[in-house]
Amino acid sequence: MQPGNKIRKLLEEMTLEDKARQLTQINALYIKPTAKAEVTGVSDDMRLSDDDIRGVGSVLNFGDAEDAQFVRATHLENSHSKIPLLMMQDVIHGYRTIFPVPLALGCSFDTQLVEECAHMSAVEAKYNGVDVTFSPMVDLARDARWGRVMETTGEDPFLNGEMGKAFIRGYKRGGVECCVKHFAAYGAPEGGREYNTTDISERNLREYYLRSYAECLKEKPAMVMTSFNLLNGIPVNGRSDLLLGYLRGELGFDGVVISDYGAVREMIPHGYAEDERECARIAANNCIDIEMMSSTYIHNLPDLVRGGEVSAEKLNGMVARVLALKQKLGLFENPYNATDAEKAAEVCLCEEHRAIARRAAIKSCVLLKNDGVLPLGAQCKSVFVGPYADSKDILGGWACAGRKSEAATIAEGVKNLLGRSVTAVKGCDVGLLSTDESGIDEAVSAAAEADVIVACIGEPADCSGEASSRADISIPRVQVKLLERLSALGKPIVAVVFGGRPQVLTVVEKLCSAILYAWQPGTEGGNAIASLLYGQSNPSGKLTMSFPRSVGQCPIYYNSFSTGRPKGEDILSNCCYNSSYRDELNSPLYPFGYGLSYTRFEYSALTLSSPVMRRGEEVEAGVTVSNVGDCDGEETVQLYIRDLFASVVRPVKELKGFKKIALRAGESAVVTFKIDESTLAFYTADGVLAAERGKFIIMAGGSSQNVLSAELRLED
């Protein structure tokens, strides 16, 4: 990138110290001196002087429009250079109006909806002073123990890429730039334990983990964030092959790269860099343009440049990229960007945004089981029990400026819908380790009066998200106890389950007649769930992460390999010389792509326009989908492939397309997908992305475990 005149001039004027500060991002609390004393978000390791604080290039986590005005004004007033601040915030699933967590939103399989949600959050965020959001997060996640699975859209690289692009389009349209994260492979920590080592083959990395970042770059996000983790023995910020060779080189990314929070300095505890000077040298040479929340650049970069360990040209390139982003955002003309407290108040939580959040929640919930008890009739005498029956703690992690008090609980949602109050009894706490059963009797006696019991259960809201891994992802003990006592009443139980990850629902499945997985549904959660329970809306969500039967199956994902000793049927192994467990099935309890509706869809007549495809040609796959139930509904039609024999073994299934369609009761439609060489391509044994001749199975269906198939042959 060639800097324009303005930027060239600034580069000439700035000292090395100014430049190092420009490449540093700090918590805005440093600039709000009144708050500083009480705050835990500032770090002693930073050792920042007043001059450093005055000169920084960007800040994060600054609060709302008024805070933003204050921070921008204070900075402008005090900074020598008068270069405006870049203001960033984690706007992950909504700003003030909170829509479902990304993992839930992914289950909508609706990229337009995702774009609309991102657009709405950008509109709220920009008036509150946000220039760039730290989103989308497109890390591939296969292990539900990892708390951050809630931030991604799931276990499939293709789906994550499509969803990531939709997020970016929405943010940009709404006037906010974005930052794709966490490059790379942050989603594969060993044991699902947060910040843990990632060790995956370079092939696996390229084929599965890098895909979604690469796809997102097609929508030209302004920034990419590097991750905390060690990747195959080297912290990501130290991997020149990835950062320079792949990201800047192969993918041609010329935007701003930012480290994650404190991650540049963390190369010391990783055991990679000896001291801060070495951290700064490594990170700068790898073109980490902004160091977030550590100060190795401020303290070392000028000297490193004077000593020739980082070239002046490299440093200027980094500063130029940051300044170019500020220029693109128009900050030089208007350092306050769109910050506007009045407009912010107007749009935040407006009826239009609430309606989008409600729709998103409706489309994100997944109906996992239904023996016919759902939907409930308006006259049905239902009693709501469990810690989530009347809980406002349903926004989920990273809820930005969202307020729990503004969320609609299930009890409120049902009251809004039916126009009468309902009985809601907590019964027990939500806590993972809670053992207090003293409230269960009250819940059971209330439930004894009901025709149908709605048990609102799940993991505590703060048990997913950053630094929230779990070793046991089953429903907390005391809640299972509650379910067991309710089940002894012999009445149908509908479980509404909350959580930021797939949980082990094996016991819930046994005890309940229906299960609606509500995730962390956001501000309009209660209204959305009520609408689904009472049949005003028809569930249409499909899982984007497999739900294990036992935690010991993790990591579990649909696009796995056959192995040389596959186990055919889904029965417990009586022969130990196949790939299986002695005490558990191989299959998940609920697979990727699965989700029920109040109607039924049947698939028939999967046809290919030709059973043979020559290189350069295209084949069309068509499948008939019929709504054979008695209500209207929406279905996500999924296209999978399997390459039967290849120079590198291919997974048993790979998602290659999806289309969401609405069908009236009794209606049918033919859904088509284009297949060409790129659909069949993978990184071959020679390391090139190409399709190899031979046999493929093309599959279409309503879940990864329920498909029709046809054979296709690729010929030279």
Active site residues: 260
Which is nearer to ligand BGC, 26 or 528 (by Cβ)?
26
Which is nearer to ligand BGC, 59 or 512 (by Cβ)?
59
Segment 501 to 520, residues that bind ligand BGC, using CB under 6 A: none
Site string for ligand BGC, 452-481 (x = CB under 6 A): --------------x---------------
> Measured at CB, which residue is nearest to ligand BGC?
134
For the CB of residue 189, give the shortest distance to ligand BGC in the complex, in Å.
12
Alpha helix (H) residue ranges in 175-266: 202-204, 211-217, 240
Segment 374 to 403, residues that bind ligand BGC, using CB under 6 A: none
Number of residues binding to ligand BGC, judged by CB under 6 A: 7
Token pair, residue 387, equals 């810690």
Q: Are 710 and 696 in contact (CB under 8 A)?
A: no
Q: What share of the chain is helix, strand, coil (3-state, %, to 5)?
A: 35, 20, 45
Segment 649 to 668, residues that bind ligand BGC, using CB under 6 A: none
Does residue number 632 form part of the binding site for ligand BGC (CB under 6 A)? no
What SS3 class is residue 181?
strand
For the CB of residue 232, give the shortest distance to ligand BGC in the complex, in Å.
20
Query: What residues have CB less than 8 Å from 82, skipping those under 6 apart?
Result: 76
Which is nearer to ligand BGC, 183 or 208 (by Cβ)?
183
What SS3 class is residue 125?
helix
For the CB of residue 179, give the shortest distance to ligand BGC in the complex, in Å.
8
CA nearest 587: which of 551, 640, 547?
Answer: 547
First-to-last alpha carbon distance for the chain, in angstroms, is: 40
For the CB of residue 260, give the shortest distance to ligand BGC in the complex, in Å.
5
For the CB of residue 157, give the shortest distance to ligand BGC in the complex, in Å.
19
Which is nearer to ligand BGC, 182 or 359 (by Cβ)?
182
Segment 296 to 315, residues that bind ligand BGC, using CB under 6 A: none
What is the number of alpha carbons within 13 Å of residue 372 lying toward its C-beta? 2
CA–chain centroid gap for 473, Å, is 18
Identify residue 245 by its one-letter amino acid code. Answer: G
For the CB of residue 581, give the shortest distance to ligand BGC in the complex, in Å.
34
Site string for ligand BGC, 147-186 (x = CB under 6 A): ----------------------------------x-----
Query: What residues have CB less than 8 Å from 604, skipping those under 6 apart?
Result: 623, 624, 626, 708
CA nearest 208: which of 555, 636, 716, 711?
Answer: 555
Site string for ligand BGC, 70-109 (x = CB under 6 A): --------------------x-------------------
For the CB of residue 466, give the shortest distance to ligand BGC in the complex, in Å.
6
Does residue number 131 form part of the binding site for ligand BGC (CB under 6 A)? no
Site string for ligand BGC, 31-70 (x = CB under 6 A): -----------------------------x----------
Which is nearer to ligand BGC, 322 or 361 (by Cβ)?
322
Which is nearer to ligand BGC, 90 or 643 (by Cβ)?
90
Does residue number 134 form part of the binding site for ligand BGC (CB under 6 A)? yes
Token pair, residue 612, equals 């043979």
Query: Which helix (H) or strand (E) element contains residue 457?
Result: strand 452-458
Sign of CA dihedral 227, 233, 238, 242: negative
Q: Are 623 and 609 in contact (CB under 8 A)?
A: no
Distance CA 37, CA 8 (A): 38
For the CB of residue 87, give the shortest distance to ligand BGC in the complex, in Å.
13
Does residue number 260 form part of the binding site for ligand BGC (CB under 6 A)? yes
Token pair, residue 182, equals 């966490």
Give the relative orientation of helices 477-487 and 440-447 as an angle to the nearest 10 degrees.
30
Which is nearer to ligand BGC, 209 or 261 (by Cβ)?
261
Q: Are 400 and 88 in contact (CB under 8 A)?
A: no
Which is nearer to ligand BGC, 293 or 428 (by Cβ)?
293
Cβ-count burial 445-462 (b if 16+ within 10 Å, e if not): ebbeebebbbbbbbbbbe
For the CB of residue 24, give the shortest distance to ligand BGC in the complex, in Å.
14
Does residue number 680 form part of the binding site for ligand BGC (CB under 6 A)? no
Which residue from 167, 208, 261, 682 is in contact with ligand BGC, where contact means CB under 6 A? Answer: 261
Which is nearer to ligand BGC, 52 or 139 (by Cβ)?
139
Q: Are 80 and 55 in contact (CB under 8 A)?
A: yes
Q: Which residues contribute to the site for ligand BGC (CB under 6 A)?
A: 60, 90, 134, 181, 260-261, 466
